[in-house]
Amino acid sequence: MFFIEVLLSFLVPSTSGLAVLTMPIMHLWLTSLALVVI
């Protein structure tokens, strides 16, 4: 996820815009990871 965030930071200059893009992606990824662990 870190590398995706670094790549997106070059495309989106503002940190708030970057958060708007990455939070839904991270939420889905972490939710699916939690379902696998549990």
| Contact in structure between 8 and 21 (CB atoms under 8 Å) | yes
- pLDDT by residue (tens digit) across 1-38? 688 888 888 998 898 999 898 888 888 888 888 777 76
Residue 27: CB atoms within 10 A of its CB come to 10
The predicted structure's pLDDT at residue 9: 87
The predicted pLDDT at position 22 comes to 86
- Contact between 1 and 9 (Cβ < 8 Å): no
- Answer whether 3's CB lies under 8 Å from 9's CB: no
Tell me the pTM: 0.56
Domain boundaries, the chain: 1-37
What does the pLDDT read at residue 16? 92
In Å, how far from its chain's centre is CA 4?
A: 7
Give the C-alpha separation, 5 to 38, whole Å.
Answer: 26
